Structure 1
Amino acid sequence: MDLARAEEIVSGRCFLCHGMNGESSTSLYPRLAGQHYQYIAKQLADFRSGRRQSETMKSMADELSDDEMLALGVYFETKPAVSSPVDDAELAAVGRFVFFRGNEYSGVAACASCHGDKAYGTAQLPRLAGQGAKYVENQLKSFNSRARTNDNAVMHSIASRLSELEIKAVANFISTLK
């Protein structure tokens, strides 16, 4: 695995949105630091194939080999992840509740049941801990509207049951996790 090549790719294109260490320039883009390398490689492959929609990311992934995608995944996985400070403690408390317990009245499963108590995810499910709140909100809305279809179909059902308050609260809480 050529990590020097991965760093070259990051410094040539990825850093503009995701930063050299996977800490995005804005909450609109995902933080990649600490993300599982297999998950990153899969997302890049999905962008390249068109399974995941983004013209910008498709054009970036089109030029990458499978080995480069894996190397980029390893590169970002080894970078330290950071979190955001709590900006609304009450909203974060609602998010914490939904993250750990779900909402039995609307049928929302606890996020922790799949993504883990620390929100570190797995090779198949993304690390959520420290992810930007706005990015998480946007992804939940994309799952709900079926604009995002490349990943776990369970997320369509979950996202469709979340209220606007729950989306904002969960996103806020997730962003504070380390």
Structure 2
Amino acid sequence: MVSKRIFTVVAACVVAGPVLAAEPPAVDLARAEAIHMDSCFMCHGPNGESSTKLFPRLAGQHYQYIVRQLEAFRSGARKSNMMEGVVGELSEQEMLALGVFFENKSTTGNVTDDAGLLEVGRFIYNRGNEYSGVPACASCHGEDGHGSAQMPRLASQIPRYIENRLKSFADGGDPVMQGIAGKLTELEIKAVAVYVSSLD
């Protein structure tokens, strides 16, 4: 059942192709910056670049994805005691403003000196692994890792964060990602994280 769902989702991504993100709406960026400096920057950095390897880089992320994650934290669909406390008092307009605020921030890929691991990650990301049934990540997240309005940007993300998220998906949660991440080896997880984080 899960494999069929994975096939359906990936096939839909391939047929539809990358869906361009809509032009960000007009929002109160000054309010977003105030919220960021009050509640977000300690973990996510002054410009959304992340302050540690454990927290995601929000700079350049699609505003729609950020809003969906904030809503998921508030509803409890995505678990985090810290984030639930942060988003609990945010209005819908404030969440939207934060999404646009972070999308407007620029970011660049991470540098790695492990050429072998980079090539393994490049292969899995772009071609998948037909022997274990892992589809190409690029099918949904795009060859450049920029994602779309529906799929998160992975390019230039913190590699350790990507590793942790893939391992978390393998343990449960999103049924599609669980079916994919659960088939990745430890090496493949690390390689994909290193590769996609190197993209601009």
Instruction: Give the TM-score band, short-chain normalised.
Output: over 0.9
The equivalent residue for 1:168 is 190
Q: What is the correspondence of 1:1-178 to structure 2 with a 5 Å cutoff? A: 1-146=27-172, 149=173, 151=174, 153-178=175-200
Q: Secondary structure at the match of 2:182?
A: helix
Give the Cα separation in 2 of the matches to 1:164 and 1:13: 34
Q: Which runs of 5+ in 1 are unaligned?
A: none
Give the Cα separation in 2 of the matches to 1:55 and 1:125: 24
For the pair shown, which has the larger CA radius of gyration, 1 or 2? 2
Give the Cα separation in 1 of the matches to 2:155 and 2:36: 22
Per the TM alignment, residue 89 of structure 1 is displaced from its structure 2 partner at its CA by 1.1
Give the Cα separation in 2 of the matches to 1:66 and 1:134: 30
Per the TM alignment, residue 160 of structure 1 is displaced from its structure 2 partner at its CA by 0.6
1:101-135: CA deviations, max 9, x gaps? 00000000000000001000112211000011100
Q: Given residue 11 of structure 1, which amino acid in structure 2 is its aligned partner?
A: M
Give the Cα separation in 2 of the matches to 1:165 and 1:54: 27
Per the TM alignment, residue 87 of structure 1 is displaced from its structure 2 partner at its CA by 2.8
Compute the TM-score of the two structures, normalised by the length of structure 1: 0.95
Give me the CA root mean square deviation: 0.8
Compute the TM-score of the two structures, normalised by the length of structure 2: 0.85
Q: Secondary structure at the match of 1:161?
A: coil
Q: Which runs of 5+ in 2 are unaligned?
A: 1-26
Give the Cα separation in 2 of the matches to 1:130 and 1:101: 20
The equivalent residue for 2:8 is none
Give the Cα separation in 2 of the matches to 1:24 and 1:49: 24
1:50-82: CA deviations, max 9, x gaps? 000110011111111111000000000000012
Identity %: 61
Corresponding residue pairs, total: 174
1:137-168: CA deviations, max 9, x gaps? 0000010001xx2x5x3111100100001000
